[in-house]
Structure 1
């Protein structure tokens, strides 16, 4: 089974709300989607970890769905801080099994692998949070089948990148509680996140974790512990492809040139 992990398209129908977002974000997103669609052998699923749009309007989501339309495999998404919960739910109500509660958490399955999607959106804020309701939902599902592996999707990573200015705006509420849950199930979990706009991998409380990059704008690597954001860089977009077979997982990095 092959699952691709992408993130942070920030597409917009009229104009971006975020000054850093490229004016050609639609073009770069379509280039990434074309690369996914052409992947051989065909991908079994695609995960998109938040900030699908830059403003969260119905028009933004209509554009996003058109951009994603070449992909015929299941697409699993979670909202990011630039998404809007009501419009997000409406856009994906027919393809994702949202619960009836306020948060857009859901459980799905692909090829025997569970997908547990978490809503970390705090509307109006850049940083994220996991409410007690969402943490209890995650713990209950993991405890109900502790032997089964799961991909846990969320926009705001709870695991640090080592870039202080970016880590300060990640998951700021519910991190300790999630760490406790992950420690109880580390060997069976893979955490997939976005938000940082720089691809990286981590081991956090024993679980393997990744952040996919963003084709809308990309942060440079600055581990000097300075308080300001790293500069933007023009690098090939990087996403991850997970090869899952017989309980083994191999992670490959795929590059897409977006500045040609």
Structure 2
């Protein structure tokens, strides 16, 4: 990367890799490798959270000769074997973030799965039954993970990887009744305290491709089904060029 003034990131989520998908994702990854300097994966990497699915995905990613950074999604937790899934991907050379931060080609990346709970004044509060308090606490803990990861970054340019959406704008188009299960504005709070260059998430297959936080940070919904529908003539990933230094004011 010596001498380059920008880094190209290809981002996609919701691959939902199954055991019968050997060979199906390689063309997409090969296209990403040609277009970008690094690949970002925004959760739901597997369909049922089975280690066998993770092994297929690891084989598919073998065509990618560049850094790959990922977070897990709710589907990766489905079978209760998320740690095995994570280990298989890490052993394949993929950086899997869970409240951690890393640096790729001089750009800082903070990542965590995130969680649900709703947005703004419609967000679920920690009141009543213990199960509700536990649900809300999960969202709070994921937001704290993101804040901790962001606090560790010292790079001029910073990206955030999530699975759940931090703003309502990128879930619009989904049934209103399920907004609360697609993300939470609690994930937006750390982005106000630690502004970043851009945020990527998935999960909302019928949402909007992009939106902005209250402080103007671009948020990109890179759920693969959404990208396929919104941009049918393009490969199903979002390409973002990040300057190695922020523009002068």
| 1:163-242 alignment, distance < 5 Å | 163-165=173-175, 167-171=179-183, 175-186=184-195, 188-198=196-206, 200-206=209-215, 207-214=217-224, 237-242=235-240
Instruction: Verify: 1:5 aligned to 2:11, yes or no.
Output: yes
1:193 positional shift: 0.4
Residue segments in structure 1 that go unaligned for 5+ positions in a row:
15-24, 222-232, 250-260
1:245 positional shift: 1.8
User: Which residue of structure 2 aligns with residue 69 of structure 1?
Assistant: 62
Residue segments in structure 2 that go unaligned for 5+ positions in a row:
1-6, 117-134
Structure 2 CA distance for partners of 1:69 and 1:136, relative to 1, 3 Å: same
Instruction: Verify: 1:31 aligned to 2:27, yes or no.
Output: yes
1:66 positional shift: 0.8
Contact 2:112-2:145 at 8 Å conserved across structures: no
| 1:109-148 alignment, distance < 5 Å | 109-120=103-114, 131-143=139-151, 148=156
Structure 2 CA distance for partners of 1:73 and 1:234, relative to 1, 3 Å: closer
Q: CA RMSD in A?
A: 3.3
Structure 2 CA distance for partners of 1:238 and 1:13, relative to 1, 3 Å: closer
Instruction: Verify: 1:158 aligned to 2:166, yes or no.
Output: yes
Structure 2 CA distance for partners of 1:203 and 1:129, relative to 1, 3 Å: farther
Q: Measure the CA separation in 1 of the matches of 2:185 and 2:108.
A: 23
Q: Deviations over 1:170-190 (max 9, x none)?
A: 11xxx343332222233x341
More strand by percentage: 1
What TM-score do you get using the length of structure 2 for normalisation? 0.71
Structure 2 CA distance for partners of 1:2 and 1:248, relative to 1, 3 Å: same
Instruction: Verify: 1:149 aligned to 2:145, yes or no.
Output: no
Contact 1:197-1:219 at 8 Å conserved across structures: no
User: Which residue of structure 2 aligns with residue 91 of structure 1?
Assistant: 88
More helix by percentage: 2
What TM-score do you get using the length of structure 1 for normalisation? 0.68
